Amino acid sequence: MGEYVRMWIGGRWVDAERTFEATSPSTGEVIGEVAEGTREDARRAIEAARAAQPSWAALSAFDRARAMRRVAEVIDGRREELARTLSLDQGKPLRAEAEDEVAELIAYFEMAAADATRMEGILPPSVDAGKRVLLQRVPLGVVSVISPWNWPYTMPAEILAPALAYGNAVVWVPAPTTSICAARLAECLEAADLPPGVVNLVTGPGPVVGDEIAANPGTQAVGFIGSIATGRTVAARAAGKELLLEMGGNGPLVVLDDADLDRAVEATLVACFLNAGQSCTAGERILVQRGVAEDFAERLVARVAEAIRVGDPFDEATTMGPLNNEPVAEKTERHVREAVERGARVLTGGARLPELGSPLFFAPTVLDRVTDEMEIAREETFGPVAPISAIEDETEAIRIVEGSPYGLLAAVFTRDLARGLRFAEAVRTGWVNVNEGTNYWESHLPFGGRAGSMSGVGRVGGRFSMERLTELKTVVIDLHAT
């Protein structure tokens, strides 16, 4: 049956009245039983966080930095265990992807340790020469973290680590399908001797425990990473609180006629097939200038056959594992089917591979003749599909990107730096890569959707998350009174 995963509340591992099954996406086997938290459990976690936060915030920034380094050291000592759990629970290939995610998880806590000591204020002038004004950065209080299943270590850490470093306490609800990963990370936090209640883990259904920590007046901020539909619900329930929302995208990747096609093809492999396409920055629209579209497609299909190996996540030869859950597999299947019905052509893949041991395996897929009205062009697929559309020029590419409701990240390939820069400055996305794929980003840089798009609010990434995870306090001192 596997292990039993409890909740971590107030520094204690806590049972629940009910449980739900955790299954391996690569085999379908039950690998554990997970505590199914209730609203009352979430409320107890919030109370524990509220009780612990003042003394945590009262520590010096250097004390909190040392605590973050301890977390990083514990994770480093458990690399193999964490990576193997990730492959079992989420489905990522152990050598090709899972070990890299654990390494990045360590980097998040090391970075938070450094950023903890950078909560700098300013000393603006007063209109009164006898007064002094201090502007201080202070923690918000209790931060709710609601995290997804596609990167079950690093996605929560990009909010959780800086929130803790800046003096907040945290109540964390992970995606149910990767609850075992969440428990492993919580064990590392426990082993690092963080004060009881500073971090609390509540497992269970998002509409119950996630909704409670978003709406409950005991939390002052909500950090959410996940789908647009859920993010909108969370934002409505958290009205009046500070919000840090990282939501969906469709990663337009533009290949212009002067691009290095081999470089663009290699980047497209990562853009479309990293984590089996389950990424908010996945290349979900491949826009190729008409004169090179056929050549690009042929090269991409050849490289997929050579480079992508789908199979058992624990096999060292595997480069792509299964999809994580049935809803995303069904959506991928539906998007491909609808595109073909509307005239798209399958160049390779296009179907599930249940013979590999689970119905969640899906073949790496390349489509061409994709047009704007197809679901796969308009929505976020979240599966291993490269949908190619031929375009006339960069003007059409910009029009397509601007017509999308998303605004997270775009990429363009061209040998003309000025051409690439013009594209980057014209498109309304929060991040643009020139001659690099859509799944390239660096964790210390500001990442998030453009204002007015469906891709989110605020920025994660190193010290840039400080704007949403702390606030300014104004202190005025009258020198005449001393």
Active site residues: 246, 280
- Burial state string for 276-307 with b = 16 or more CB within 10 A and e = fewer than 16: bbbbbbbbbbbbbbeebbeebbebbbebbeee
* HEC profile of 255-274: ECCCCCHHHHHHHHHHHHHH
CB 275 within 8 A of CB 150: yes
Residue 17 tokens, joined: 């009245």
Using alpha carbons, select from 404, 333, 379, 322 the residue that is nearest to residue 355: 322
Strand partners, 367: 346, 387
Residue 38 Cα to chain centre, angstroms? 25
How far is it, in rounded angstroms, from Cα 152 to Cα 162? 17
Residue 421: count of CB within 10 angstroms of its CB: 14
How far is it, in rounded angstroms, from Cα 248 to Cα 281? 8
- Backbone phi and psi for residue 320, each to the nearest 5 degrees, phi listed first: -140, 125
Q: At 326, which helix (H) or strand (E)? A: helix 326-341
DSSP 314: T
- Backbone phi and psi for residue 148, each to the nearest 5 degrees, phi listed first: -95, 180
Helix, strand, or coil here: 422?
Answer: helix
Q: At 472, which helix (H) or strand (E)? A: strand 470-478
Q: Which residues contact 334 (CB under 8 A, 6 or more apart)?
A: 375
